[in-house]
Chain A
């Protein structure tokens, strides 16, 4: 499925209010968006599904503001990023709160989290912005430019986040004996 499909479905949705077209968009993007949230919330599948749901509903309600300058995927990740940080602010587990304690409280055991503890521990070594940038770059295969649009920050800042994140992860993974 290409970007042409996205444009066709978005046009059907905007012009005709065709909910089936939106259904197709959700089916296409549910996996990357839920995976993005699952990694950001350190394996809380319930929270990540709630955030993904909020993201898609916001996308549906604001679809007419999609200009097509960036791809639909980038636009959707931008909403997802805002939804996540709104949630972080609302839950007040930001900066001054010990995130490790919160992560343990919120972490729901599920079919994905049990086997993915390593990646969550690794991501916990990074600052929130670094986590987001690294996940978008390495996990979601976004370019630096797309990440800058998603995170609404300068390209240089994104590159710094990724570089710092990569270095920290490199040190952590080496300590854990990864790659030996």
Chain B
């Protein structure tokens, strides 16, 4: 038999029988049997702490933090208030966008 013909026939044969198998509670049953693993959240916190420490160290040594404080001193009060009031609005928008895509804010 010609290989090309066989290939075509076998392809169409398998395509005919290929089907999606419905979950029918398989995942739920499996997840009940999956053993609990230790919480690895501490890894994130350790890296966050190291990151913040390094940033603070560099910031203090390079005088960046002092410059930022001085910058705030120079910004007009109403600019600063507008900026501060924007935070909760932007934060809420990001939160809803991340939590539930149906809001479609961003």
Q: Which residues of A contact B (CB under 8 A)?
A: 14-17, 19, 22-23, 26-27, 30-31, 34-35, 38, 49, 52-53, 56-57, 60-61, 112, 116, 118-119, 122, 134, 138-139, 163, 166-167, 169-171, 173-174, 178-179
Interface size on B, residues (CB 8 A): 33
Given contacts A30-B26, A179-B12, contact A170 B1 (CB under 8 A): yes
A30 pairs with B13, CB closer than 8 A: no
- Taking Cβ atoms with an 8 Å cutoff, the residues of B that contact A are 1, 3, 5-7, 9-14, 17-23, 26-27, 29-31, 33-35, 37-41, 43-44
Pairwise interchain contact B40-A17, C-beta atoms closer than 8 A:
yes
Contacts of B17 in A (CB 8 A): 116, 118-119, 139
A19: chain B residues within 8 A (beta carbon): 31, 34, 37
Q: Is the interface of B mostly helix, strand, loop or mixed?
A: helix
The answer on a CB contact under 8 Å between B11 and A30 is: no
Complex contacts, B10 vs chain A, CB 8 Å = 134, 138, 166, 169-170, 173
In the complex, the chain B residue whose C-beta lies closest to that of A116 is B17
